[in-house]
Structure 1
Amino acid sequence: MTLRRVVVGVLETNCWIVDAGGQTLVVDPGDQPDRILAATEGLDVTAILLTHAHFDHVLAVPALVDAWAVPVLAHPAEAPVWPHELATVRRDGHWDAGTATADVLAVDPSRLAAPDRLWDGAFTPVADLEDIPIGPLTARVLHTPGHTPGGIGLLVGDHLLSGDTLFPGGPGLTGPPLSDFPTIIGSVRRLLALPGETLIHPGHGPGTTVAIERPRLDEWVRRGW
């Protein structure tokens, strides 16, 4: 397996390219489709998978579906998230980037403006523990709600693409609508039950391992975020 990262968009989202046996799965194409197309040139992309449907993980979807004619995979519980994102940008005139919103707007408001063409929200549902073939490999879907209702991780061998559920130093953001801290802690417990050598590749920033993060779980529960 070859695992490559392309960092895209205003929130520097990790778009993951998983390639094995001549087939490729693209995870979280958050923006800048031209860069993702360049990174996958010559590869046989068979599907796009979304760990969740926040704007910074989906903006390149329309252009890539046009280019590849492949399905978009997501968990069915994620269905309300993209409509909520669209309602927010229409109401406020910009995307909600969580704790980064004020800083981005202060520097360049256009970076949180919606593009002319947006994803239509259509996806093919995948279930918890479903296996997705990538050439000779299988990638297992893990439903990890909390950051969003239908958040998922993807386990490929000893590599975990954790989306925005688990980062070095704790769980992903909760507090906004459709998120829940006790729920994400349950999901984090599930991920930290994986073998210690499991490599965690999150939706933003650098990676870590289960062994590094597992001892800090009680600390995260106590602090409440």
Structure 2
Amino acid sequence: MNLRRVVVGALETNCWIVSAGGEALVVDPGDRPERILAATADLRVTAILLTHAHFDHVLAVPALVDAWRVPVLAHPAESPVWPHELATVRRDGHWDAGTATTELLARDPARLAPPDRLWDGAFTPVHEGVLPIGPLTAHVLHTPGHTPGGISLLVDGHLLSGDTLFPGGPGLTGPPLSDFATIVGSVRTLLALPGDTRIHPGHGRDTTVAAERPQLPGWISRGW
């Protein structure tokens, strides 16, 4: 397996490119399609997978679908999330970046302005189960909480956790369509994986199951 990371967008989203045998799956193309196209120039991309449908994980989707003519995969429970994102940006004139919104707007409002072309929200439903990537077998895990249809991808000892699990805790559960108790349940499932499983989150640095597992009681106590 080969794993590449391209950091894109206002929230520095990790777009992951998982490949084997010359075939690739692109996970969370959050922005800057030209950079993602360059990073996959030597590969045959077979699908785009969304760990969830927040704006910072999907903005490059239209351009990449045009370039590759591939399906966009997401969990069916994610259906209400992108319409909610669109309703928010139409109401406020900018994306909701959670706790980073105020700082980003003060620094440069254009960073949260929507592009001219937006994803139409169409996707092919993917459930828990096996997903082939060339000769590899990846496993799709439904890990809700940050969003209802959040998913993580386990492949060859590597876990792409989206915004479900980060170094130091679970993903944000303040926005609508999220729930702390639900994400704790998802995190418990992920932390039951072997300790040497490498965690690659939707933002920021990598970690391991062994490094994060002992911290779970503290996360539950603090409530976020």
Which interval holds the TM-score relative to the shorter structure? over 0.9
Instruction: Check whether the contact 2:22–2:42 (CA below 8 A) recurs between aligned residues.
Output: no
Q: Distance in 2 between the 1:24 and 1:168 partners? A: 26
Distance 2:12 2:22 in 1: 28
Instruction: Point out 4+ residue stretches in structure 1 off by more than 2 angstroms.
Output: none
**Post-superposition shift, 1:42?**
2.2
**Aligned pairs (5 A) from 1:59-98:** 59-98=59-98
What is the match of residue 134 of structure 1? Answer: 133
Name the structure 2 match of 1:58. 58
1:175, CA displacement in angstroms? 1.4
Query: 1: distance between equivalents of 2:163 and 2:74?
Result: 14
* Residue 197 of structure 1 pairs with residue 193 of structure 2: no
Q: Distance in 2 between matches of 1:92 and 1:102?
A: 13
**Is 1:4 equivalent to 2:21 in the alignment?**
no
Q: Secondary structure at 1:59's aligned position in 2? A: coil
Deviations 1:32-88 (A, max 9, x none): 000000110121000000000000000000000000000000000000000000000
CA offsets, 1:69-116, max 9 Å, x none? 000000000000000000000000000000000000001001100000
Q: Aligned letter for 1:109?
A: P
* Equivalent residues of 2:6, 2:14 under 8 A apart: yes
Aligned pairs (5 A) from 1:1-225 = 1-128=1-128, 130-225=129-224
The AA in structure 1 aligned to 2:142 is H
Consecutive unaligned residues of structure 1, counting only runs of 5 or more, are none
Residue 148 (structure 1) shift: 0.2
Amino acid at match of 1:143: H
- How far apart, CA to CA, are the structure 1 residues paired with 2:70 and 2:131? 14
Q: Quote the Cα distance in structure 1 between the aligned partners of 2:102 and 2:56.
A: 16
SS in 2 for 1:46: strand
Query: Does the CA-based 8 Å contact 2:173-2:180 persist in structure 1?
Result: yes
Distance 1:105 1:204 in 2: 19
In the aligned structure 2, how far is the partner of 1:201 from the partner of 1:20?
Answer: 18
Q: Structure 1 residue 21: deviation in Å?
A: 1.0
What amino acid does structure 1 have at the position aligned with 2:137? T
TM-score by length of 1: 0.99
Q: Secondary structure at the match of 1:95?
A: coil
Question: SS where residue 213 of structure 1 aligns?
Answer: helix
- Whole-angstrom distance in 2 between the partners of 1:182 and 1:18: 30
1:121 Cα deviation after fit = 0.3
* Whole-Å separation in 2 of the counterparts to 1:28 and 1:12: 12
Q: Which amino acid aligns with 1:166?
A: L
Deviation at 1:157, TM superposition (A): 1.4
**Structure 1 residue 134, shift from structure 2 partner:** 0.6
* 8 Å Cα contact 2:26/2:45 also seen in 1: yes
How far residue 22 of structure 1 moved from its aligned partner, in angstroms, is 1.4
Question: Which structure 2 residue ranges, 5 or more long, are not aligned?
Answer: none
CA distance in 2, matches of 1:190, 1:25: 24
SS at match of 1:221: helix
Q: Using the alignment, how far apart are the partners of 2:98 and 2:206 within structure 1? A: 21
Identity between Structure 1 and Structure 2 (%): 82
